């Protein structure tokens, strides 16, 4: 017989191995849901971080609680935690069965239900089920129910208690040490720095700058048409036909010289 449970109700479990299945209906905008379990000691807290079974640690060191993983079934998607109740260590009095959605609130998760099966019966009907309803809709993690000891046996209680700070907040509340340095965070985008445009180059030639502090020699002037360029002497009269003017020594006092003459032709 399958028990349809209400929040706060409990049911005895007459099985040795129980399979707790979280099931929900996928769709547009519906987040993925992960199942996890926390094994609690007599003080209601984990004994160590190894008592946390989740996607990054899918099996308890004792081998008695493990995560089976996700499947697609006719009714939707599932994620499953299986527990060998007969082999659970005596120091564990409660096992919390948790659903979490990565940064998305449970008001967007449709038809969330936890179902308990006898793992020894391959195709049997569920022993019990509980439709999990978030109280505020802002929860990102929910304790769907708990397996707990009662005398020599085990029971299941339907809870539906929510946390708005996700699986991290829930785990911390029960004694899990969360390393802040390993928290997944988006790298801050590197701001784009606008580079100034280079200044416009002057239209006139700029003399080269001295190298290593020494003045550079001015570049040699190329002669035009193969003739030497005038030096930095006082300007002299330009001769015609592109020939350089003759260089004449200054006349001494009292000395008389004829002006330069062209070629002399002697007639016969």
Smallest Cα–Cα separation from 146: which of 155, 135, 137?
Answer: 155
Contact, 79 vs 113, CB < 8 A?
Answer: no
Residue 97's CB is within 10 A of a number of other CB atoms, namely 25
Residue 51's CB is within 10 A of a number of other CB atoms, namely 26
| Helix and strand totals (H; E) in the chain | 1, 12
Distance from C-alpha of 36 to C-alpha of 217, rounded to nearest angstrom = 81
Burial 146-174 (b: 16+ CB within 10 A, else e): bbbeeeeebebbbbbbbbeebbbebbeeb
* Tens-digit pLDDT profile for residues 47-102: 999 999 999 999 999 999 999 989 999 999 999 999 999 999 999 999 999 999 98
Instruction: Enumerate residues 6+ apart whose C-beta is below 8 A from 109.
Output: 24, 30, 31, 33, 101, 134
Question: From the first residue on, what is the mean pLDDT of each consecutive set of 10 residues in the chain (268 residues)?
Answer: 94 96 94 96 96 96 96 95 96 97 90 96 92 92 97 96 92 85 38 41 47 48 49 46 51 51 47
Instruction: Enumerate residues 6+ apart whose C-beta is below 8 A from 9.
Output: 157, 158
Distance from C-alpha of 247 to C-alpha of 76, rounded to nearest angstrom = 111
* Tens-digit pLDDT profile for residues 95-106: 999 999 988 999
């Amino acid at each position: 017989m399958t028990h349809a449970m209400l929040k706060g109700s409990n049911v005895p479990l007459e099985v040795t191995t129980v399979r707790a299945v979280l099931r929900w209906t996928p769709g547009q905008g519906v987040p993925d849901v992960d199942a996890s379990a926390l094994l609690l000691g007599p003080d209601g807290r984990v004994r160590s971080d190894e008592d946390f079974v989740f996607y990054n640690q899918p099996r308890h060191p004792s081998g008695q609680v493990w995560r089976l993983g996700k499947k697609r079934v006719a009714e939707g998607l599932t994620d499953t935690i299986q527990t060998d109740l007969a082999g659970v260590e005596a120091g564990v009095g409660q096992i919390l069965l948790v659903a979490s959605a990565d940064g998305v609130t449970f008001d967007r998760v449709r038809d969330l239900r936890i179902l308990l099966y006898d793992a020894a019966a391959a195709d049997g009907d569920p022993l019990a089920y509980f439709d999990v309803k978030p109280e505020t809709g802002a929860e990102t993690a929910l304790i769907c129910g708990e397996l707990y000891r009662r005398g020599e046996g085990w029971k299941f209680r339907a809870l539906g208690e929510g946390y708005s700070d996700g699986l991290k907040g829930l785990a911390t509340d029960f004694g899990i040490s969360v390393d802040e340095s390993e928290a997944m965070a988006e790298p801050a985008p590197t701001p784009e720095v606008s580079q100034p445009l280079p200044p416009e180059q002057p239209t006139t030639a700029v003399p080269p700058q001295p190298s290593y502090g020494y003045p550079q020699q001015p570049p040699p002037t190329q002669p035009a048409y193969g003739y030497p360029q005038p030096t930095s002497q006082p300007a002299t009269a330009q001769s015609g036909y592109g020939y350089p003017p003759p260089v004449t020594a200054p006349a001494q006092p009292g000395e008389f010289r004829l002006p330069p003459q062209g070629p002399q032709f002697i007639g016969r």
